[in-house]
Amino acid sequence: MTGIASIAEDVREGRVDAAEPARAAVARLREQNGGPQGLNAFLAALSESEALALKVSSDGGRLSGVPVAIKDNLATVGFPTTCGSRILEGYRPPYEATVVKRLREEGAVIVGKTNLDEFAMGSSTENSAYGPVRNPCDPTRVPGGSSGGSAAAVAAGIVSGALGSDTGGSVRQPASFCGVVGVKPTYGRVSRYGLVAFASSLDQVGIFGATVADAAELLQVVAGHDPRDSTSVDLPVPDFSEERDTGAEGLVVGVPTEYFGDALEPGVKASCQAALDMLAAGGAQIREVSLPNTRYALSAYYVIATAEASSNLARFDGVRYGARDSSGKDLGEMYERTRTAGFGREVKRRILLGTFALTAGYHDQYYGRAQRARGLVSADFEAVFGGGVDVLFTPTSPTVAFPLGERVQDPLQMYLADVFTVTANLAGLPAISVPVGVSDGLPVGGQLIAPKWGEKTLFRAAFALEGAVEAA
């Protein structure tokens, strides 16, 4: 698949019809998505007739004619927004997420909405009410989650870029499993307006690209202050693509010992070690560091995330929008019947866990302690970056993509898939997953983490790493 910048340049220069890239993407989507063995990566998409009727401007937008896929928890005009849930089946929002609006303003064409774990709660995209997504690298395996549909769409070459959301690794982990690039920016760098809330202090819009350059192009467009999001920060957005040829010379790369323990599969560890050797060969200084409070991160994350989810999902009650079961005898029974039928098993589990963690007798014992642990995790990062480290390198996931159905009945094992990614969300740091190798024929991702607002350095390291892996 041609890169995003090349597609846009061909359209702007008139070398291809402005609508042709989107039409080709829709054709690929129709070929690969449906049927018993299809990817099931899209929940809604442009029809062939809509694709044929497309009128796309070639007036010079940065993303002129570029086909893009959008995770189905981002509000879009012209498509349903279901969050992979029966409770929002068929819901069409009357407004659009800021990030989607910015893509359109730069000439991008939204070709479809991608499948996800229901309300972004999952690590395999098997929790969708509309069926699981298959990994294009091996259709018997999961694509990761919760943004598995977006990752699969890019990995399959349907689109060069897509949007996802990342609450605890939901962009980076599927990027690793599918062999593509996934970026989680600094909390506040990209507007969350129009992103259906799961855990508001952790949620972020993330980017998938076939390459680091593709991810940089999309982030360049969607980043920046938005007055409609109170957590959006008004800071200049640097030019990420300027770092393409800077190289690794002089970079100080920290390697946290806590991320290279016994939980790491040997093949993943070997690929990550090889990546570190490549960075060192390119002139980077590799330094072993410690993030001792990492051991609290996963537990703290799942308390905070479920607590915030129980509050955020209270709005789905059958009264204002979405599905409603009206067979109850009173309002209370209508609420109960609607939510029982509308929410899936994992969503119910997290609502119950979060509600318990926020009850009067347990609030400080669980939620309060989790927030204090979050502070310790953040302090670890601040100490390491304050000690002269430019970026950290870790595995993105302890394993490669696991088989469909293997962990569905074991929530604890499923949650452990996020063990290396939740820390960046807890601390609000920018992070990226870059393909660094293969283990047992499946992709391995390496994660780079930078200080807050350090996306420019993050992309410098990512470009250097990608170049070294491709040259090897």
- Report field, pTM of the whole predicted structure over 0.85: yes
Answer with the residue of higher pLDDT: 371 or 52.
Answer: 371
Q: Is the pLDDT of residue 269 over 80?
A: yes
Q: Is the pLDDT of residue 335 over 90?
A: no
Tell me the mean pLDDT in the region 148-168: 98
- The pLDDT assigned to 1 comes to 66
Residues involved in catalysis: 71, 146, 170
Alpha-carbon distance of 303 to 268, in angstroms, equals 28
Given a contact cutoff of 8 angstroms between Cβ atoms, the answer to whether 284 and 171 are in contact is no
What are the C-alpha distances in Å from 312 to residues 75, 196, 336? Answer: 16, 9, 17
344 token code pair: 């899936």
Tell me the mean pLDDT in the region 95-121: 98
- Average pLDDT value over all residues in the chain: 96
Q: Residue 440 — pLDDT band, cuts 50, 70, 90?
A: very high
Q: Is the pLDDT of residue 60 over 80?
A: no
Question: Hey, what amino acid is at 36?
Answer: P
Alpha-carbon distance of 104 to 346, in angstroms, equals 34
Q: What is the dihedral of CA 229, 392, 199, 210, to 10 degrees?
A: 80
Q: Is the pLDDT of residue 323 over 90?
A: no
- Percentage of the residues of the chain whose pLDDT score is greater than 90: 89
Least confident of 7-16, 66-75, 224-233, 408-417: 408-417
236 token code pair: 């200049």
